[in-house]
Chains A and B, each alone.
Chain A
Amino acid sequence: MRKALKNEGVQAFIASIFCILLGVLIGYIVLLCINPSGASESILNVIKNFLYKKPARQMKELGNTLAKTMPLILCSLSILFSYKVGLFNIGAAGQYVAGACASLYAALAWGWGWLPCMIFAVVAGALLGSITGLLKAYCNVNEVISGIMLNWICLYTANTLLTNVKESTSPYTMYLDKINKSSLLPTLGLDRVFGNNENVTIAVPLTVVVAVIVWIILGKTKLGYELKATGNNRNAAKYAGMAQNRNIILTLAISGALAGLAASLLYQTGYMRWECTQSSVPAMGFNGIAAAFLGGLHPIGAIFSSFFIQHITDGGQYVNTNFYSSQISDVISSVIIYLCGFVLFIKLTMKKFLSKKDEQKGAKQ
């Protein structure tokens, strides 16, 4: 038992569970303050999400949650990849927008197939990421600030460009399945497993493969080692003969590529359409931060934490809207991110506690 507690992974897991419980508890308290009578029911609905539906519909609803979980996983991979290299890529949200814009425009205006569209989105995200990287490497611009600025620039660019392919009667882009069926991601028969939900596509296996690849690159390859070394100490890495500027740009390009892929995997299912008048950057990239930290900054952990966050975000729609609003799940997930800041402290306390126990044991012997 004690041996297990000393394991870094186990400690990270305990800390994450602690953050989740406290986050949900605070969400519950907020609901109680607004209106005590329906709070318990509503918070349970948030946690249940698709289980709230009748059993016959559950698989289909689970499919919808999965369809949105995949881009979230990729966004959190994007964040954690750069964070491991000492860069906080908040620009992932903008790179996600760039990916969405690229894949939708290629699909609707040029009639490309699904694979070229996806690759185009990845390239767009990577290009945008490398702009942040170039600014960081050669001009010393803080990547958080430049990321935020690029997020807004991308949003307005995407709105302007996608207006060319929007429906004339609504602010939304045209339906992919009406204009260009070949741009929809293939379902590989997965749709039948989830009650004929065509939103479940090749995205699911692809995302898991990408997560494993990221894990291998970061943990097992020379490239990953070099990138992490650059993150730990730029000057030491330079001294050791690593191309530090190249590493910074490469990191943000890969990070951007992941975010671009995320958008393509969501918008090319046809589940979501772009709203050309939207005035805020989609929350997917920011939720990726929550998922990355909740998953203990581990690619495999990100898969589970992303599912959890999407699960409660979708659950938000089942609160009793007579009193509450669905944004309560945003409150819960942002509280969880905030609490993730304390993870280091929780781990330290655990370590201190354990070593104290060991000392006492040693003294007795």
Chain B
Amino acid sequence: MLLLIQYTLIFASVLLLVALGGCISEHSGVINLGLEGIMVVGALGGALVMKSLGTTSAFVMVLVAMLVAILSGMLYSCLLGVAAIHFKADQTLVGIAMNLLATAAATVFVKAMNVAANPDNHSSEIEYISARKMFIVNIDGFEFNWFMLVAIIAVVLVYVLLYKNRLGLRLMACGEHPQAAASVGVSVYKMRWTGVLISGALGGLGGLGYILAGVSIWKFENGVAGFGFLALAVMIFGQWKPTRIAVAALIFGLFRALSNTYTGFPFLTSLNLPGNVYNMMPYIVCLIVLAFTSKASRAPKAEGIPYDKGSR
């Protein structure tokens, strides 16, 4: 039971971070379908730090790994920013291209690195056993992960940013009616860049959190297995509002955690379902939930539409 709570909380934290990223980007008017790719890049950045930093204090390790994950996520999100904000590209297409590119590029990079270190090692895996322990504080068998705290801080920050702050209100105006925002002197380009970069930062951080959630070795060929899209579903279920997103993340986190821990529950194992059923669970729940919540969608009105100064 404790294990289930622990996994639920860590998966919910990751989902929450990434979903908040998507939320901010969409409020500024850019659909960020590239979150999945941003997560991979953030995870790669963080994993490289964990591999190369070796023995340092836990504080330095956690801080540096998170910062590098944030920075690499932001850097990668520039691909979306340039294409979607300045070149009026199809945001769906660009986002999907970013996902494919991130997994392919990370695989090529990690394999090249592994082969350079040992010519017989053709795997795309990075190991970080000792580094992972530094992210975790053991409280009576419950493994507290620093990412849980980071996620809570992120919700508060995003809430304040969006609703209690001039910047956030301007940012949201650009997602609702960019021309109206521009007419009172708000720079739509600047606001949309802010949105995309913040989502890159949160996505990258979430990527690092994801690979630290349950394992100490990551195979970059697998990407992040649709987790970025799951986060987008959390965002839609949360109706683009930070607090509701937090609740949604907990629900989805629970189902994701079940697939890791169902063997620990006698009544679940006695059902004798194949393990794949639990793997499917979060996706099925997501579909059902979306079917009931999408009708009254509160999506930002101008999301996905390239900004054209001349149109009304």
Contacts and interface: CB of A to CB of B under 8 A. Distances in A.
A337 B291 contact: no
B165 interface: no
Given A279-B222, A341-B89, A149 B112 contact: no
A236 to B, nearest CB: 17
Interface residues of A, number: 48
A91 to B, nearest CB: 11
Contact of A341 (B94, B222, B229, B284): B94
Given A280-B222, A325-B122, A148 B229 contact: yes
A323 B109 CA distance: 11
Interface in B112-144: 112, 115-116, 119, 122, 124
A179 interface: no
A142 B294 contact: yes
Given A148-B229, A323-B112, A331-B105, A156 B83 contact: no
B88 interface: yes
B92 A321 contact: no
Interface in A279-324: 279-280, 286, 289-290, 293, 321-324
Identify which of B100, B229, B284 gathers the most chain A CB atoms within 10 Å of its CB: B100
Given A325-B108, A331-B108, A334-B97, A157 B276 contact: yes
A151 B287 CA distance: 12
Contacts of B116: 323
A151 to B, nearest CB: 7
Given A146-B287, A325-B108, A327-B108, A342 B83 contact: yes
A100 to B, nearest CB: 16
B187 interface: no
B163 to A, nearest CB: 25
Interface in A327-354: 327-328, 330-331, 333-335, 337-338, 340-342, 344-345
A146 B90 CA distance: 19
A54 B102 CA distance: 35
Interface stretch (A120-128, A133-141, A169-177): A133-141
Contacts of B104: 327, 330-331, 334
Interface string B67-95: 00000000000010001000111101110
B92 A88 contact: yes
A348 B96 CA distance: 23
Nearest to A330: B104
B222 A140 contact: no
B229 A145 contact: yes
A338 B100 CA distance: 9
Contacts of A117: none
Contacts of A290: 100
B6 interface: no
Nearest to B226: A152
B83 A322 contact: no
Contacts of A139: 290-292, 294-295
A144 B83 contact: no
Q: Which of A34, A328, A341 has the most CB of B within 10 A?
A: A341
A35 B109 CA distance: 12
Contacts of A159: 276
Contact of B101 (A142, A146, A335, A344): A335
B286 A149 contact: yes
Contacts of B108: 30, 34, 324-325, 327-328, 331
A350 B290 CA distance: 42
A145 B107 contact: no
B233 interface: yes
A337 B283 contact: no
A151 B277 CA distance: 14
Contacts of A212: none
Interface in A3-55: 30, 34-35
Contacts of B287: 135, 141, 146, 149-150, 153
A8 B65 CA distance: 49
Contacts of B284: 149, 153
Contacts of A331: 101, 104-105, 108
A90 B87 contact: no
A160 interface: yes
A290 B97 CA distance: 8
B100 A341 contact: no
Contacts of A286: 96, 100
B280 A144 contact: no
B280 A280 contact: no
Given A279-B222, A338-B79, 10 more contacts: A34-B108, A141-B291, A141-B294, A145-B286, A145-B290, A149-B284, A151-B226, A153-B280, A323-B116, A334-B105
Interface of A: 30, 34-35, 88, 90, 135, 139-142, 144-146, 148-153, 156-157, 159-160, 279-280, 286, 289-290, 293, 321-325, 327-328, 330-331, 333-335, 337-338, 340-342, 344-345
5 contacts: A35-B112, A149-B286, A280-B221, A323-B112, A345-B88
